[in-house]
Structure 1
């Protein structure tokens, strides 16, 4: 099986900007209100990495078709100045400890090239890989192909190397 890192497309220069909220990793609630800043001609992306993993309604519908153990919390993005609201979803993903010893690092501890051990992934289609300084959302080939067949905005996929056996 092949795997890909799901990332926010950084080439889009005018996405909405969620203001920092009080959402920490242990936050549990059925819904949240979050204020956003819309620049002129701002785009509502389908995937946001900051302040946490946030997905659009359409992306949520696709992801739950592949993985039934994903947890979501509704977040209503509100632009007070423009008077607009949109529903998004905070995404909570299963964490896997599958980083291979073949992974290379920069001197400051960030990952230079991620390599995962496919034996530790099991059958999960969507999961999170945590390192000391970074976190990655990983999808398998089936999910990646499905994402690419749809008109999602703001998504990039990067192939992940697998540990040599």
Structure 2
């Protein structure tokens, strides 16, 4: 099975204005986050940010509907992304995917050099990998194709290389 890193499209600037140090991003309860956007803006369906020691992966309702079909192991906390000036609001979800220890230790310089040892047994469609200073959501080819068919906005994929034995 082929795998891809799911990343936000950096040409979409809207997700960059969020303050991920908001305590709600670390909590397990719904919260409100404020950003700068208007009702006419098309908000990306996948975005993420980080604080000093924490990564926050966020999705819209449209992408959550797709991910729910492929995994029951994703924890999703709703939050309400509210614009500071126009008071428009959209429902988003901070997700936490299961972490798999299946990266080869070599070639850790860039995203496009990630190599998997094999296929994770428990979470074959979507999982998270953790490196020293970065975390990534990895999706299967089947899930990536489904996301692309739905024409979700602001999502891109980078292929991941395969290596030797199965993931732990």
Q: Please state which band the TM-score falls in when normalised by the shorter chain.
A: 0.7 to 0.9
Tell me the residue number matched to 1:105.
Answer: 108
**Deviation digits for residues 43-71 of structure 1 (CA, Å, limit 9, x no counterpart):** 31000111411000010000010101111
Contact 1:36 1:77 in 2 (8 A): yes
The residue that corresponds to 1:36 in the other structure is 35
SS of 2:49's equivalent? Answer: coil
Q: State the superposition RMSD in angstroms.
A: 2.1
Judged with a 3 Å threshold, the aligned counterparts in structure 2 of structure 1 residues 41 and 86 are, in CA distance, closer, same or farther, namely: closer
Alignment of 1:1-165 (within 5 A): 1-12=1-12, 14-16=13-15, 17-20=17-20, 21-23=22-24, 25=26, 27-29=27-29, 31-38=30-37, 42-51=41-50, 52-101=56-105, 103-106=106-109, 113-119=113-119, 121-124=120-123, 125-164=125-164
Distance 1:136 1:75 in 2: 21
Q: How far apart, in 2, do the equivalents of 1:161 and 1:139 lie?
A: 13
How far apart, CA to CA, are the structure 2 residues paired with 1:9 and 1:56?
15
Q: How many residues align?
A: 157
Runs of 4+ with deviation above 6 angstroms: none
Bigger helix share? 2
CA contact (8 A) 1:104 1:112 kept: no
Q: Which structure's residues are more often strand, by fraction?
A: 1
TM-score by length of 1: 0.86
Give, in whole Å, the separation in 2 of the partners of 1:71 and 1:111.
24
The residue that corresponds to 2:53 in the other structure is none
Instruction: List runs of 5+ in structure 1 lacking aligned partners.
Output: none
